[in-house]
Chain A
Amino acid sequence: MRAHILWLTVGMAAVTFLPRFIPLALFTRWALPEGIKRALHFMPTAIMAAIVFPILLSTQKGHLAFEPRLLLSALLVFAVAWRTKNLWASVVLGMLVYWLLGFAFA
């Protein structure tokens, strides 16, 4: 392993580990105030939505842009996951449909 890649990896590991570790180390010892705990209730939903939407939609020059193939596959996965709650089947079906739509939108 080359030295500069080793240092890059060590640096990346540090700035990845610390934001993961510091809140866990602190708040498993000193409980968060009740108000903040309540405020964090919707955090998983909010974080996942904030990650997902920009993958599917983007703004370019002030206009909303999207790729039909990606958006259609995404809506299907959403619907199937919602109805079945079966995650792995939804992921596999989504990949299959995205692949097939590739022929339609080619």
Chain B
Amino acid sequence: MNCRTIKRELSAFLDEVLEANCATVVSEHLETCAGCRRELERLEALREALRSLGPVTAPDYLHHMLEMRLSNELRENWKTRLKEAWQYQWSRIRTTEGIWYLTRLAGTAMTFILFTAITAAMGPLYIDLQTSAPDRTVPLQQFRMNVLKNLGLLPLDAQRKPINPREPMLNDEYLVRFGQEVSRTGAAEDTFSVVAVVDRSGTAKIQNVLEYSSDSSLLSDFNDMISSARFRPASYNGRAVDSRLVFTFSKISVYD
């Protein structure tokens, strides 16, 4: 070993932590090398100087300062732990299945209640699927009549459309007007006669033509007139019955 290598090992040699064979080699070298011996002495002096630095005493108030910090820490720790415990419990509650289902059920129930309340406030509506789409809503009375009619439970009287006094009825006034029209437009001796059936609801339609007019438009006009209008039906013992009428138009005379 050369001096450079020996000098590297001197520190460990001084502290007696070298391996035995290595320590032997260093020791043998030191016996013959004054330079390395001087280095070892300097190391010893340094070590002694460090050892003699003396103790460093802590101030008396160190304990007091530590106590204060410890008290603060324990107080904060208590609050922190309480907060963490609460957060932990809440996270457990939130994730339990029971609470999950309960919240969902509560939401569903509230939705149902709100829907029912809103629907009741708006009033009942019935949808008649038989009628065309734009106007399917019908009043309740009409809906009931339709249902009973479809089921065949509607009484005969109720199946007739009730006579609305405000609706125009085929009466003498209409016939007179029509006759005047015939007189004005037709030939003086022109006459046409028809047989019409008036049912119990007052609806009339031509059954037979007894005498044609030279003006074919008169028959068409007459047909349009009685189709769109309604007769006051004939009655027998207070009940409406079907009847047959003969209409003869000849200048200003009208027979019924």
B is bound to A: no
Binding site for B on A (CB under 8 A): none
